[in-house]
Structure 1
Amino acid sequence: MSNVTAALPRRMLADLQPAVYQSVMAAIVRVLAADSTSNATRQSWQKLIDSGPRTGGFRTLLSARDQFDYDCILHALLHRELSAAHWDVLVGRFSTHKGNRIGAISRSVYRISTPAPALFRYKAATVWFIPKMKGLKVGRNDKGRDLKRSTQVEALPDEFYDVNTWDTEARPESTRSRWRLGIHRFLEAQQESAVIHVTEILEREQLLGHVA
Structure 2
Amino acid sequence: MTYRNVVSAVVRALASEVINSAGGCDFEPKVQKARIPGEISGKEAEFLFDCMVHAVLHKRLSKEHWRALTAQYSTHAERKRIAIGELVGTIQSPAPARFINCCVVTWAYPKLPGVEGKRSTNVLPAGWYEMDRWSDDPVPERTQHRWKAGIRKELKRLVDEALVEAQHILDMEGLISCQAA
Q: What residue in structure 1 maps to residue 21 of structure 2? A: 39
1:107 and 2:89 aligned: no
1:80 and 2:48 aligned: no
Cα distance in 2 between the residues matched to 1:86 and 1:169: 33
Q: What residue in structure 2 maps to residue 91 of structure 1? A: 70
The one-letter code sitting in structure 2 at the alignment partner of 1:160 is W
Cα distance in 1 between the residues matched to 2:88 and 2:126: 20
Change beyond 3 A, Cα 1:150–1:120: closer
> Following TM superposition, by how much is the alpha carbon of 1:23 offset from its aligned partner in structure 2, in angstroms?
1.1
**Structure 1 unpaired stretches of 5+:** 1-18, 43-60, 138-146
Provide TM-score, normalisation by structure 1. Answer: 0.73
> Following TM superposition, by how much is the alpha carbon of 1:210 offset from its aligned partner in structure 2, in angstroms?
5.0
Q: What residue in structure 1 maps to residue 33 of structure 2? A: none
1:65 and 2:35 aligned: no
The one-letter code sitting in structure 2 at the alignment partner of 1:122 is N
* Number of equivalenced pairs: 165
Cα distance in 1 between the residues matched to 2:64 and 2:23: 31
Q: What residue in structure 1 maps to residue 144 of structure 2? A: 176
> Following TM superposition, by how much is the alpha carbon of 1:211 offset from its aligned partner in structure 2, in angstroms?
6.6
Q: What residue in structure 2 maps to residue 199 of structure 1? A: 167
> Following TM superposition, by how much is the alpha carbon of 1:85 offset from its aligned partner in structure 2, in angstroms?
1.0
> Following TM superposition, by how much is the alpha carbon of 1:205 offset from its aligned partner in structure 2, in angstroms?
0.4
The one-letter code sitting in structure 2 at the alignment partner of 1:102 is R
Q: What residue in structure 1 maps to residue 129 of structure 2? A: 161
Provide TM-score, normalisation by structure 2. Answer: 0.85
8 Å contact from structure 1 (residues 136, 149) kept in 2:
yes
Cα distance in 1 between the residues matched to 2:164 and 2:23: 32
Partner secondary structure for residue 207 of structure 1: coil
**Structure 2 unpaired stretches of 5+:** 25-39
